[in-house]
Amino acid sequence: MKIWQFSEQAYHPAFQQPGAMRVTLPQSKCDPFEAGRLLNRYLDEYMLADELGLNIMVNEHHAAATCMSTSCMTTLAILARQTSKAQLLALGIPLANRSNPLRVAEEIAMVDALSGGRLEVGLVKGAAYELFMSNRQPTGFMDRFWEAHDLILAALSNQGDNFSWEGEHFHYRTVSMWPRPIQQPHPPIWMTASSATSAREYGKRGYTCATFLSGAVARSVFTGYREAYVQAHGEQPGQDKLAYLALVACAGDRKTAFARAEKMKSYFTTAARLDPQFRNPLGFSPVDANIRMLQAGANAMRPRMRNGDPLPVDGTIEQYMDAGLFFVGTPDDVHEQLARFHDETGGFGNLLMMGQAGELGHADTVDNLTLVGREVAPRLAELSTQPIEVRYEAVG
């Protein structure tokens, strides 16, 4: 299993403000000098991950104290230059919230060239509440996503002449990549799924499929992916096509590890702080999906603990661990917990590890990453890379 260090790069001093952490949080609460110090600190931690042999994942959000990286590719452009070994994953670029997919392709090509071909690219829809910043049309979101996807792939993989594009949503007179990406036909493409249905589409296309903080649901996501992959490609996908995102708090002793986990937990509690009308802008979700959500109630989408109960947002560290969202303890503990989760979900080849989250400080993050890099990663690398039979039903 490969490990990817990931931090949302929060402006955590704002967590003390009352109210929403996204969309409506006043920008006057941001001290730009403090923001700059924190951003540099998070970059230092990414560089440490590179030294430790870990890989790197970056995301982006907008108008949020929970994530100051407002552009995956800007952050990765820095890391392309400042790291040497790590694979660099943008997960992801919010396509349906982007007005200019050609610009997205150009940025991918530039960072791929700059990094010597170490870039991997997640093409994601984008968060619903960020329609309020992008102001892109909520209806027709998925049509626009796939047209942008088609254009970007066509641009990156083009070996022939420059071309023009007259689509339903996008129009360009000249598509010409200067520079072109090193990786051909294009850097590995990632997508994210929270259900077997969406995973099937990615299995068919052979893209890497990641699921975030979904606990037991990861198993059905991966199963859906494998089934569609086998159907389309006639063979089982390698585990490197599957990824799971979770938080990891590792320390020399359990007490310290749990203390770290407590500092990271504000990632979960702040992510939930958003006024309800921004969660699901009118026209964003299909009518049938809205009806199902309303009828199922607020808890339907929450990850489940092993006893079947929904995981409370302000749950304990133990509850988050029980649901498979948090791996906490000594290197032995973390290895054991991850190996078990790996087996329970049928196996996945990438751990997208939040080794920094919430209010976890620099010294703690450095120690966390170092222990994972030196003591956990080598043992996880030995986990079976072949698809394995699902042996436990407990997480279903």
Q: Does residue 275 touch another protein according to CB under 8 A? A: yes
The number of residues that bind another protein (CB under 8 A) is: 20
Query: Quick one: 76 or 96, whose CB is closer to another protein?
Result: 96
Query: Quick one: 272 or 291, whose CB is closer to another protein?
Result: 291
Residue selected from 34, 143, 332, 382 as contacting another protein according to rule CB under 8 A: 143
Stretch that binds another protein, among 6-14, 277-285, 325-333, 368-376 (CB under 8 A): 277-285
Which residues pair with residue 191 across a beta bridge?
Answer: 209
Q: Residue 389 has which token pair?
A: 């039979």
Q: Does residue 84 touch another protein according to CB under 8 A? A: no
- Can you tell me the distance from the alpha carbon of 71 to that of 310, in angstroms, rounded to the nearest whole number? 33
Stretch that binds another protein, among 34-42, 56-64, 174-182, 280-288 (CB under 8 A): 280-288
Q: Residue 82 has which token pair?
A: 């400042």
The DSSP output letter for 235 is S
Degrees to nearest 5, angle at CA 20 with 41 and 302? 90
Q: Does residue 295 touch another protein according to CB under 8 A? A: yes
Residue selected from 276, 308, 391, 393 as contacting another protein according to rule CB under 8 A: 276
- Can you tell me the distance from the alpha carbon of 18 to that of 358, in angstroms, rounded to the nearest whole number? 16
CA distance readout (Å), 140 to 101, 151, 164, 393:
16, 17, 23, 38
The candidate with the shortest Cα–Cα distance to 220, out of 395, 361, 358, is 395
Within 95-241, strands assigned E span 119-124, 163-166, 171-175, 189-192, 208-212
Q: Does residue 132 touch another protein according to CB under 8 A? A: yes
Q: Does residue 297 touch another protein according to CB under 8 A? A: yes
- Whether 261 and 250 have beta carbons less than 8 Å apart is answered as no
Q: Residue 76 has which token pair?
A: 């990765």
Shortest spacing between CB 138 and another protein, in angstroms: 5
Q: Does residue 140 touch another protein according to CB under 8 A? A: yes
Residue selected from 46, 267, 268, 284 as contacting another protein according to rule CB under 8 A: 284
Shortest spacing between CB 93 and another protein, in angstroms: 22
Q: Does residue 313 touch another protein according to CB under 8 A? A: no
Stretch that binds another protein, among 33-41, 76-84, 90-98, 286-294 (CB under 8 A): 286-294
